[in-house]
Amino acid sequence: MTAPAPAGPGWSSWPAPAKLNLFLHIVGRRADGYHQLQTVFHLLDWGDRIRLRPRADGRIVRHDGPAGVPPEDDLAVRAAAALQAACGTGAGADILVEKHIPLGAGLGGGSSDAATVLVALNRLWGCGLAMDDLAELGLRLGADVPVFVQGRSAFAEGIGERLTPLALAPQWYLVVHPGVHVPTADLFRAPELTRDTPATTISRFLSGETAFNAFEPLVRRRYPAVARAFEWLEPHGVARLSGSGSAVFVPVASAEDGYRLAGDRPAGMTAFVAQGLDRSPLHAMLERREGEDNSDS
């Protein structure tokens, strides 16, 4: 059976934005083994794209997705199945994931894809679930999913699910991917990982208190390509690791400055320039489409 075209009648396209962790502290460990974190998520105006088409037969069919990730392991597919069960719908969906966010980069690609599927199919299927309900559903898929569902840059605590929205100043970033995939589970198991950083507060973060990523020393030691990315970026500003992945970023004064710097990146590395946003492009699109629906009624 031939897969449907990724655009055309019945298909809709939705953004799945990347994120940066402006810092990431591990402040403890729960009895169940999960790590207690503090971080700030800054959502970006760049990321993946999810194309969806409702089906009447109840099937969830992925037509394209991340290379090397089977459909049953794809968070976008799992999110659709979880929402289908939660709202008791007989509808299904065709799903096409246009990947731009590298795997294992710490930019939230899989989590954002899942969140976009939850938010978009909630509308397309007419489930009517509130964002808080979708965020709770997303938490079962991954700790980063709720921030993408809620659609606001935020100070996060717990395992990343306790979110306080933050109004962050607009900021351009140059993000460098050194071409390596960092498995999160391996880092969390590492005995040398710092797990007892004193807790900070939102006011301390906003006042410019020095913050760091607990995974950075470990990733720099284990992945020489990441260390080289830091060495290249550090003369141009305060470079940071994002999440538990391999992407390294630095604030830049403008998009033009970022692109100019990206042109000189070392061989074997990719780079992109993105703006940090307080509000997700996904929610901006959702609001536009709901407004169009209201104007047509």
Catalytic positions, please?
19, 144
With a CB cutoff of 8 Å and minimum separation 6, the contacts of 276 are 20, 42, 43, 44, 45, 153, 168, 170, 171, 172, 173
Any binding-site annotation on 105? yes
* DSSP output for 130-158: -HHHHHHHHHTT-TTHHHHHHTB-EEEET
Any binding-site annotation on 246? no
Within 10 angstroms of residue 99's Cβ, the number of other Cβ atoms is: 18
With a CB cutoff of 8 Å and minimum separation 6, the contacts of 34 are 159
Any binding-site annotation on 103? yes
Instruction: Read off φ and ψ for residue 112, nearest 5 degrees.
Output: -70, -40
Any binding-site annotation on 47? no
Q: Which of these, 233, 223, 212, 247, lies nearest to 106 by C-alpha position?
A: 247
Cβ–Cβ under 8 Å, residues 122 and 103: no
CA dihedral (162, 112, 242, 159) positive or negative: positive
Any binding-site annotation on 33? no
Residue in this structure with the two tokens 């309900």, named with its chain if needed = 133
CA distance 24 to 197: 10
Any binding-site annotation on 106? yes
Cβ–Cβ under 8 Å, residues 267 and 216: no
Any binding-site annotation on 104? yes
Any binding-site annotation on 110? yes
Any binding-site annotation on 151? no
Q: Which of these, 40, 295, 262, lies nearest to 153 by C-alpha position?
A: 40
Going by the annotation, the residues of the binding site for ATP are 102-112
Residues in binding site: 102-112
